[in-house]
Structure 1
């Protein structure tokens, strides 16, 4: 595979905007038919967007967090499933940036610049909680490892060239093993049946004694031994997807009202778009969307500031800013996607129009991790300056 190499932040946003417009056209049909976006992902890879966080020293654009968030917001406004697929890709690029050896970085950054995709095999089902990882990375006599376990919610794995697998080694610490999609003993099962984000293929990954060379394993646990932005960046992209879904739902509601809705007979106006009560509702919804986008930008700038001067304090400020953006964007996405029907009227509920995909995508994606815990950390930080904990979900 060959891929374009994006030069800078401005080009990255411009490319994302073009792709979002292209992906928007087929989003409804892909969702209703559960047609997996293989061609769209190939186009995303070829565009160079998946390599925009490769460091400049390795030939990448190394874009700002603010740019990366805007890329995801644009993609989310077009297709809430498609935008979710590369979220883990960028999270595991960050692991390489943080914990990779020079040789590992040289190899994987070249893979990214060539358009290769990372999936994920992180979460597990039936364990005590989300951090109870039971997949094992056992040493083999030749210095390599054997990987055994079952993963669920493995977004992007079906489409990936490399699948980063979160596992515990002999010392019970968390490591990430980067495994080729076609590795013997690795099986990806397309069994995702969520009500929303239907085309993310967030299914099951089975690992039955998969052989992994030692130089494809990174010590992820070290990421959290000091100030870090791993969780903040990952959550920033989730917030951007939600903000995008909200903007996409609002835009589609406005188009529907302008072109398909009838005015209420008591309004005394000729078109639904002239109804002052509808105008008021759209104004309120637009305020929510704008507020979410503003918090997203503020959070991204906090991440960029922390990257430039990473301390416990700057990392905490970034994490809290991202948590605020994520809470508000999630609430807004669900609210606006639901209000779409109220402002559009009965016809908007027709299954054939598939306008409910925005709400289904928002409702599904916002279940990724509970906002109530983010609010707790925001509250403690506001009340007495308690820094949030170091983990990948904040």
Structure 2
């Protein structure tokens, strides 16, 4: 398995990095790992409260989130899905998804990179052999590692060349979320001379992984989602997930099954949960501002002494609350469906091949429904909060705009219109979608 290493710092790139020392006290404070579901959620809530204190300022400074990754490590949240036998939390996916949502309430950027890291850490459960899964989990958990991934499907696949007992990786990806501050990077490419895809996990801190430090977008500014060049990165054949290193061919019972394509709705559900978390954080922050600063409108047929008595303000907050509650409930339903599938079919039971295309497709459409609702509701709430906070709330110091900018930036990751169309064919014709890199 890839050796442990510290990530390339963006201090030499476009933005300086935040200093991990600012969160050092939490290393000891959070030394004991949570146990129950409620304890894990409480820990995520503590992280949320830490992050929200200066989220607007950090977002405006645009510093690489090295300190925030250290905070996640101190909290133990990176270990929540890992097997207990290696020191992990042993929790199912519905707990992980809820933690992503909670962290995103405090800082959508950190919620996003946290969600991606959890996802990449669990990828081996889907595409790897049981032996690879056990080895990688032990390595990640025992070293408390943070993961990124150079797997943007809109770009050309990385090229993978076999050279004896090793693989040589080359290529370019326009997006590589969290890579700059990661310990390990997931690579995906196509083996030369074939159409077969390979996943592997390598140390980030090596000369062949070259970050451009060019992430300077309107939102999700602290996610280090810029481009990366992969140049002659070498990995052993034994780390080709789901492949036989002797025959150098995919293992059929791992690769040629609907189960492998569960990766796609699983990451889409990561997205929806941090969308909802961002919107919840926006509503909470706006409400605090309204209670403290928003003034009533004096030029009304029924003027009020307090903004808290204004009909339109109460109506808007009530409507936002109702729609966010509905979105969260729908997400919880999908989160539970993910847990059910991964607990029913998994590498420890050696029954991943029993998942049917229909089961996989129905899960994908449950997730698609959450994606549509979380996108629509999230954008509506994060833009609408200015209607109930007032003109002074548009100040950069207040920073309410970051919620909308973060959501607007990531919700164009893939067109939600295609999710609506898929759901239309499912509702009208009973069809489940053919798996793609985005479905």
Would you say same fold, with TM above 0.5?
A: yes
Give the paired residue count. Answer: 387
CA–CA distance in structure 2, aligned partners of residues 374 and 88 of structure 1: 21
Q: CA deviation at 1:268?
A: 1.7
Q: Judging changes above 3 Å, is the alpha-carbon distance between structure 1 residues 118 and 249 closer, same or farther for their aligned structure 2 residues?
A: same
Q: Judging changes above 3 Å, is the alpha-carbon distance between structure 1 residues 234 and 369 closer, same or farther for their aligned structure 2 residues?
A: same
Match for 2:310 among 265, 275, 280? Answer: 275
8 Å contact 2:166–2:235 — kept in the other structure?
A: yes
Is 1:116 aligned to residue 116 of structure 2? no
Indicate the SS of the match to 1:136.
strand
TM-score by length of 1: 0.92
CA–CA distance in structure 2, aligned partners of residues 223 and 369 of structure 1: 25
Match for 1:182 among 175, 181, 205? Answer: 205
Once the two structures are overlaid, the 10-residue window that deviates more, 380-389 or 269-278, is: 380-389
Once the two structures are overlaid, the 10-residue window that deviates more, 58-67 or 291-300, is: 58-67
8 Å contact 1:223–1:230 — kept in the other structure?
A: no
Q: Structure 1 regions of 5+ residues with no counterpart?
A: 125-129
Is 1:107 aligned to residue 132 of structure 2? no
Alignment partner, residue 160 of structure 2? 137
RMSD: 2.1
Alignment partner, residue 127 of structure 1? none
CA–CA distance in structure 2, aligned partners of residues 246 and 33 of structure 1: 22
Is 1:259 aligned to residue 304 of structure 2? no
Is 1:286 aligned to residue 321 of structure 2? yes
Is 1:53 aligned to residue 81 of structure 2? yes
Indicate the SS of the match to 2:328.
helix
Q: Judging changes above 3 Å, is the alpha-carbon distance between structure 1 residues 223 and 72 closer, same or farther for their aligned structure 2 residues?
A: farther
CA–CA distance in structure 1, aligned partners of residues 362 and 338 of structure 2: 8
Q: Output aligned runs, 1:1-394, within 5 Å.
A: 5-56=33-84, 58-113=86-141, 114-123=143-152, 130=154, 133-140=156-163, 142-170=164-192, 171-219=194-242, 223=255, 225-227=257-259, 228-265=261-298, 266=300, 267-309=302-344, 310-394=355-439
Q: CA deviation at 1:375?
A: 1.3
Deviation sequence 1:330-382 (CA, Å, 0-9, x none): 11111111011111111111223221101100100111111111112212111
8 Å contact 1:98–1:223 — kept in the other structure?
A: no
Indicate the SS of the match to 1:95.
helix
Q: CA deviation at 1:317?
A: 2.4
Indicate the SS of the match to 2:149.
coil
Q: Structure 2 regions of 5+ residues with no counterpart?
A: 5-26, 244-249, 345-354
8 Å contact 1:229–1:303 — kept in the other structure?
A: no
8 Å contact 2:116–2:270 — kept in the other structure?
A: no
Q: CA deviation at 1:224?
A: 6.5
Q: CA deviation at 1:219?
A: 4.2
CA–CA distance in structure 1, aligned partners of residues 334 and 393 of structure 2: 34
Indicate the SS of the match to 1:86.
helix
Q: Judging changes above 3 Å, is the alpha-carbon distance between structure 1 residues 26 and 224 closer, same or farther for their aligned structure 2 residues?
A: farther
CA–CA distance in structure 1, aligned partners of residues 92 and 358 of structure 2: 20
CA–CA distance in structure 1, aligned partners of residues 293 and 312 of structure 2: 17
8 Å contact 2:69–2:146 — kept in the other structure?
A: no
8 Å contact 1:58–1:106 — kept in the other structure?
A: no
8 Å contact 2:157–2:188 — kept in the other structure?
A: no
